[in-house]
Structure 1
């Protein structure tokens, strides 16, 4: 059995073990599903030992993609087992990029762009912004959202296919669930079939918000991962086909999915405002990620968030801190939104049409790490920021 397939077999076994004990899901999308029976691993330590052996073999054989994937799995599993690696090293091993951060001037610039976009829509940048945006975007029920999400994805799909050249097909099973976790929407699956879950504990539905998430979840995840599966069916790929969110392909998957509306509907003012706000907030969340892992006092970090985004609740801010500071998977995975969104928003804003087309076509053919994306657009920004000290702000009085 070739080394790639050995890793896939081990990861499936690890996933079965975690499922049996109620642990975190390991495989989020299997691009080469198998009907063969899967025997759960005997322990996390056993998985760790096998990953170590496979990683060493990949290094010796010069199988770079397998080495990157096993290194990421080892870093994440080590964290699950109790290690607490320094943040930048952990992100380089799992998400494939650093955590140097962005300058104050850049963060303020992004905030000003989002502020202006909403001011043009009559919405004030204050503690009531979230409520005002919800009313602007027209609230909708979870039942309507479940029936409309595919309709909205279908509307944008021709543009996505034109930009990416993908011919893959996909199907999706939409489910409404009640799960005590941070996420509101989640896609997973295998081959050409996906499952989209709406978490009724956390999801808030609006007409424009659902349009955004239809593109993110169905066209940015379900269709893209089905495209990877199609490539794996037609080519002898060198990358490990069991995808999980702690791998260095995730900045691509989350970044492009979050930025898709600026490519598909650049003249839709409410959707563009939402995209600008998301970009800004992901950078702010990145500041939180860096600060809490650098040991800054949590109350000072919370005050900083309120200075950046006064409409966020203390409950939301508490979740930001704990998700990025203590939970092994989220400490890795959530950085992908910050680094990936920044890169793909800048690609849409700054690159010429030929470069955009080249990048989007490539990333719907097979997965790319941040290093590989940078090779497609050398003029693009540095994943994870060019470097800035952590400086916390305080809300202004009044």
Structure 2
């Protein structure tokens, strides 16, 4: 058994422990389901001790793809056990990037882009913006969503395969669930088997949304994960063959999935307006993520959110502040969305031929944020501008 196999076995044992406890799974996609089964760990301290031992071995310390993964596991497990690191330190340990944020001026510039595209669709900027955009996106009943997503997947798949050069096959299952969680849709699976879950409690289905789901979840995460799994069946890859959202590959996975329409459907006006709006909203979420973790009061955070996004409800604002401040997993994982999204938006806008290299590489192996710097040396810093200035509204407690 290689040290990589030992890491995977420790993660699998941890995963079974959390499932047995009724908690959230540790593994979200298994690239190598043929691995030998393992029993659940006896407790979290045993997992922590095992991962710590592995982290101390030279074989792990000398392999960045292994060391970053084990260190991420230890940081998240430590948070589960009660540790509360400084946010930037915690995100660097788990997601592998900075949590420094973007300037208020930059966030404002992205708001202007989104508002201009919405205006071209006849949609104003007010408390009904989101509702007007959903009308433009053509609402669907929930029971029609799976068929629409499959149809959109078939339409976009040739273009995605062309830019990523992926030839992997996959089998897609779509389920509707009712879960009290922040997510509207979630993809997981094992090997070539991909499962997309739709949560009608949070999701509002539209034809444009079906195209977005197809690109983000099925052809973004699903085809990408199946591509990794396909490679794992044909060669002994050096990286850990199980995916966890608290790990350092998530920034690239979420960033590309969110921005994928910019690369393969740039002329789809309504879809692109939604993507540009979502980019802005993720940047606002990043402001709140930083603020609640630096001790800015809830009332101040809520007032800033209302000013930035007039169509967010107080329920939505309360949930996103709580998720980013109180939940050990989401305090890490939700930073992957703005960090990755902004980097890939910039790639689509500025990088030219480099973008083709990045997309091909991103479907060959789970990339780390540091890999993005190697691929695009002149690209932006992952996780923020490096010189962020908090909006005045968020400097008061």
**CA spacing shift, 1:127–1:31, aligned 2, 3 Å:** same
8 Å Cα contact 2:3/2:60 also seen in 1: no
Cα distance in 2 between the residues matched to 1:73 and 1:315:
31
The within-5 A match list for 1:148-227 is 148-227=148-227
**Deviation of 1:232 (Å):** 1.6
Instruction: Give the TM-score normalised by structure 1.
Output: 0.97
What SS does structure 2 have at the residue aligned with 1:393?
helix
8 Å Cα contact 1:157/1:219 also seen in 2: yes
8 Å Cα contact 2:3/2:59 also seen in 1: no
**Deviation of 1:38 (Å):** 2.7
Partner residue of 1:280?
280
8 Å Cα contact 2:61/2:67 also seen in 1: no
What SS does structure 2 have at the residue aligned with 1:195?
strand
Cα distance in 1 between the residues matched to 2:206 and 2:172:
21
Partner residue of 1:372?
371
**Deviation of 1:103 (Å):** 1.1
Cα distance in 2 between the residues matched to 1:137 and 1:158:
23
Count of residues in correspondence between the two structures: 393
Partner residue of 1:114?
114
Partner residue of 1:8?
8
8 Å Cα contact 2:288/2:301 also seen in 1: yes
Partner residue of 1:331?
331
Partner residue of 2:252?
252
Cα distance in 2 between the residues matched to 1:67 and 1:264:
34
**CA spacing shift, 1:259–1:318, aligned 2, 3 Å:** same
Asked if 1:360 corresponds to 2:359, the answer is: yes
Farther-moved stretch of structure 1 (383-392 vs 140-149): 383-392
Partner residue of 1:145?
145
Partner residue of 1:350?
350
What SS does structure 2 have at the residue aligned with 1:70?
helix
Partner residue of 2:33?
33
Cα distance in 2 between the residues matched to 1:299 and 1:73:
33
Unaligned runs of at least 5 residues, structure 1 = none
Cα distance in 2 between the residues matched to 1:147 and 1:328:
36
Cα distance in 2 between the residues matched to 1:107 and 1:35:
45
Cα distance in 1 between the residues matched to 2:99 and 2:392:
16
Show CA shifts across 1:240-262 (max 9, x none): 11111011110111000000111
Show CA shifts across 1:75-119 (max 9, x none): 000001111110000000111101111112211110000000000
Cα distance in 1 between the residues matched to 2:389 and 2:13:
42
**Deviation of 1:234 (Å):** 2.1
Instruction: Give the TM-score normalised by structure 2.
Output: 0.97
What SS does structure 1 have at the residue aligned with 2:393?
coil
What SS does structure 2 have at the residue aligned with 1:98?
coil
**CA spacing shift, 1:341–1:242, aligned 2, 3 Å:** same
Question: What's the Cα RMSD here?
Answer: 1.2
**Deviation of 1:36 (Å):** 3.5
**CA spacing shift, 1:384–1:61, aligned 2, 3 Å:** closer
